[in-house]
Amino acid sequence: MSEIKQIKPLLLCDYQEDGRVSMERYASRILSGLVDRSGFQSASAFLPVFPVWLQYLPISQIMKLRMARFIIYPYQVRKLQADIFHIVDHGYTHLLPSLEPEKTVVTVHDLIPLLAHKKLIKGLDFFWPPFLVRFSLSFLRRVARIIAVSENTRNDLVRYLGCDPAKIQVDYNGLDKQLCSYSLLQREECRRSFNFPGGKNHYVLVSGVQAYKNHETSLKVISRLRELCKKPVFVVRFGASSSKWNSLIREHGLEDCQITIGPLAQKRVVDMYNSVDCLLFPSWYEGFGWPPLEAMACGIPVVTSNVASLPEVVGSAGIMNSPDDVEGLAQSVYKVLTNTDLRDTLVEKGLNRAKSFTWEKTADKIAEIYQSINSSQSLRSGNCS
């Protein structure tokens, strides 16, 4: 029996100082999935080190990060060795000149800055052209493969950057195994742990902090639900508070019915989802859209928007409306809260839908891409000999 040839991929990660938790999670889950596979036990990750001396420069933290990303990081990777280089965050594609393009893969999660500057994402205003984003993404055409986290992102790459469709492969993100549905007793315990008010109430979760999450529409929906529902309705906010959010709460007179939950450890995120009755997610844009899938994996019905990647991710397991249709969204949430049969159906569909998004599948597809690139490199080497 012939020995399986080892391929040594190297994941190029973000600076931790960038604070992009989702990118850290993506890299971590991929690496764990790869090292469990025959032929990929040598997979590793490179985490760039933020220079100590940079902290002492009399410039803003943003400028320090830009220096680190665009000047120092390319220098740090020049001598790295690997069979495959995988830039896990498209915002670091400018590393390509320091690597071997024919052996490099880039994962693209979204094109939000570019689309926002073109005024294609409601709620976001980019007054200045995103020069550095454009500079980094300009190297995409030279990489061996591009991984898009959704068909929507793939289409954006082709339409707005002119990328070769043959180079792009869609590979959906996975879900963490800790995400699960609790019993009714466990749900009550979670609500008490978050200091939810007692009594028979409805709890509607609103997730995210970015402007394109469409919080104004969410709060208009909550206001309408307070008119429709016999039970009190509370909006549960997951994410750091902001002056904009607080202003909208006052504007809609919702000071007495908001519950704010800040950043949480993963275990508590599962508790948080299991504490609510519904996720309201009328986002104007998503490159992938984790919150609806996470909620469904926890047995929570989802009412979301019908734009960008959300239809392909949520499928028929959630209720979708136009992100600006306040009355339609309100009626959808109302039905979820009051129609037991509909709720049970959505819970079942959601649990089944969420099962199809696993990090094992994500890593399987990436392993295939690596093998394809490595085989092409071997053929070229053979032809040259």
Domain spans, the chain: 9-174+359-384, 184-355
User: What tokens appear for 186 in the block?
Assistant: 């466990």
Tokens of 340: 């037991």
Ranges of the chain whose pLDDT falls below 70: 1-4, 378-385
Between the alpha carbon of residue 251 and those of residues 210, 248, 357, the distances in Å are 19, 5, 39
Let me know if the fold of 9-174+359-384 is the same as that of 184-355.
yes
Q: What is the pLDDT of residue 129?
A: 83
For residue 379, what pLDDT is reported? Answer: 60
What per-residue confidence (pLDDT) applies to 67? 95
Dist CA 140 CA 121 (whole Å): 22
Q: How far is CA 141 from CA 102, 145, 167, in A?
A: 11, 9, 9
The 10 Å Cβ neighbour count of residue 111 is 24
d(CA 162, CA 84): 24
Helix (H) or strand (E) holding 234: strand 233-238
The string over 97-106, giving b where at least 16 C-beta atoms fall within 10 Å of a residue's C-beta and e elsewhere, is ebbeeebbbb
Number of other CB atoms surrounding residue 239 within 10 Å: 18
**What pLDDT is stored for residue 4 in this prediction?**
61
The pTM for the full model equals 0.93
> C-alpha dihedral over 59, 64, 67, 72, to 10 degrees?
130
What is the C-alpha separation between 78 and 272, in angstroms, rounded?
43
Q: What is the pLDDT of residue 39?
A: 87
- Pull the structure tokens for residue 256: 């007495």
List, edge to edge, every strand of the sheet that includes 44-46: 44-46, 9-12, 84-87, 104-108, 145-148, 168-170
CATH code assigned to 184-355: 3.40.50.2000
Where are the extended beta strands (E) located within 64-181? 84-87, 104-108, 145-148, 168-170
Assess contact for 359 and 32: CB atoms under 8 A: yes
How close are the terminal C-alpha atoms of the chain, in Å? 27
Q: In what order do the strands lie in the sheet with 202-207?
A: 258-261, 233-238, 202-207, 278-281, 302-305, 319-321
Q: What is the CA radius of gyration of the chain?
A: 23
The domain covering 9-174+359-384 belongs, at the CATH homologous superfamily level, to Glycogen Phosphorylase B; (3.40.50.2000)
Query: Residue 227 class from Cβ within 10 Å (0-12 exposed, 13-18 middle, 19+ buried)?
Result: exposed
CA-CA distance, 242 to 144, in Å (whole number)? 41
Tokens of 19: 């604070």
Structure tokens at 42: 């040598």
How far apart, in whole angstroms, are the C-alpha atoms of residue 30 and residue 26? 6
User: What pLDDT does residue 1 have?
Assistant: 39
Label each residue of 251-318 as H, E or C: HCCCHHHEEEECCCCHHHHHHHHCCCCEEEECCCCCCCCHHHHHHHHCCCCEEEECCCCHHHHHHHHC
